[in-house]
Amino acid sequence: MKLNSLKISLFIIITLSITLIISGLLVYKNFVGFLGAWNQSNKMNIYLKVDTTESERNKLIAFIKKQKSVSSAELVDRNKAGLNFQSSLKEFSSGLVTMDELIDLIPESIEVDLENSLSLQERDQAFAALAQSVQEQPLVEEINYGATWIKKFEKIDQVFRSAGIFAFLVLLVSISYLVALMVRIYIDDSKQEIEIYSLIGATRWSIYQLFLKDVFIFLCVSLVVSFVVLFAAFTYIKSKLVTSGLAETFIENMSFLSFNEITFVVFMLFVFIYVNCFLTIQSSVNRLNQISNE
């Protein structure tokens, strides 16, 4: 079948639809990645009493490292804590924490990190369990791990993940019906060609194949075009964000779709769009043949 304006329109609709779906997935993935980056950067700080001995401190660190899901437990001594405090105050702390009297008042702490594979909910549960087991130790003064913020981000994470999956499915179904509608218009415009093929003895399946071949080619080309354009745009935007001085944690965790994610997207698009188009082609061609016979 020759190229015409409806074929071009169908190709453009498919390309724009696929681009919309993939760009939505990119935004979704990187927002979830941003929450995950905050999740991984959030650690538990266990502040020790001033009179804690080195032996007691080492025993507590060894106890913490044995706990489930703990990936590291590092000591933050007075000097390091003083430097961190001085760094946070910047020019306002000039000479403040270098005085021995004040250094001695700064408590030592143990910084605990969990495995990166944990979700926000699992991280919150692991921190809570660890805090419960550690706070009974007599040398522990205070425990802080941002429990309130974790719970807030946990709810945001759950809502966003559920909304993202729902929006993806709704968008996928809507776009498949939009493409099917364009295919129906394209078939109606090819009525005369279908009648000619029928007169020369072409079977309905051979007629189906003519349109299915076009849809298959359009899908494949549209997928390639969409991925190339979006990858180029993603790379450009990421490079601009690097030069803009945005938070490094967010930029480092920005990533394009992985091979498995691309495979999943391609499979879902073919299942929804191609199957829906096949049903549309079948019903439209049968309807036109029935009208011609009458």
- Indicate the residue among 145, 170, 186 that finishes a domain: 145
Co-location of 176 and 276 in the same domain:
yes
Q: Which of 97, 77, 101, 74 is nearest to 87 (CA)?
A: 97
Q: Residues 230, 16: contact at Cβ < 8 Å?
A: no
What is the rounded CA–CA span in Å between residue 226 and residue 14? Answer: 10
The pLDDT of residue 49: 83
- Between the CA of residue 174 and those of 164, 167, 169, 265, what are the distances in Å? 15, 10, 8, 15
Q: Is residue 180 part of a domain?
A: yes
Co-location of 59 and 195 in the same domain:
no
Co-location of 171 and 264 in the same domain:
yes
The pLDDT of residue 99: 47
Q: Residues 145, 44: contact at Cβ < 8 Å?
A: yes
Co-location of 243 and 170 in the same domain:
yes
Co-location of 163 and 269 in the same domain:
yes
Co-location of 201 and 132 in the same domain:
no
Co-location of 211 and 269 in the same domain:
yes
The pLDDT of residue 227: 92
Tokens found for residue 89: 């105050």
Q: Residues 191, 284: contact at Cβ < 8 Å?
A: no
- Indicate the residue among 84, 119, 145 that finishes a domain: 145
Co-location of 263 and 157 in the same domain:
yes
- Indicate the residue among 97, 116, 145 that finishes a domain: 145
What is the rounded CA–CA span in Å between residue 286 and residue 289? Answer: 5
Co-location of 34 and 47 in the same domain:
no
What is the rounded CA–CA span in Å between residue 128 and residue 145? Answer: 9
Q: What is the CATH number of the domain that holds 70?
A: 3.30.70.3040
What is the number of domains present in the chain?
2
Q: Is residue 292 part of a domain?
A: no
Contacts of 119 (CB under 8 A, 6+ apart): 39, 157
The residue with tokens 């359009």 is 218
Q: From the centroid of its chain, how far is CA 76?
A: 34
The overall pTM is greater than 0.85: no
What is the identity of the amino acid at 126? A
Give the domain range for residue 49: 43-145
What is the rounded CA–CA span in Å between residue 62 and residue 152? Answer: 31
At 73 the three-state DSSP class reads strand
Q: Residues in the chain with pLDDT < 70?
A: 1-4, 33-41, 78-106, 116-117, 119-120, 146-157, 244-253, 288-294
Q: In the β-sheet with 140-144, what is the strand arrangement from edge to edge? A: 70-76, 109-114, 44-48, 140-144
The pLDDT of residue 37: 62
Q: Is residue 80 part of a domain?
A: yes
> Do strands 109-114 and 140-144 pair parallel, antiparallel, or not at all (unpaired)?
unpaired
Q: How many residues does the chain have?
A: 294
The pLDDT of residue 1: 47
The pLDDT of residue 167: 83
The secondary structure of residue 176, as a DSSP letter, is H
The pLDDT of residue 100: 54
The pLDDT of residue 97: 47
The pLDDT of residue 224: 92
Co-location of 61 and 17 in the same domain:
no
Q: Residues 76, 110: contact at Cβ < 8 Å?
A: yes
Q: Is residue 293 part of a domain?
A: no
> Do strands 44-48 and 140-144 pair parallel, antiparallel, or not at all (unpaired)?
antiparallel
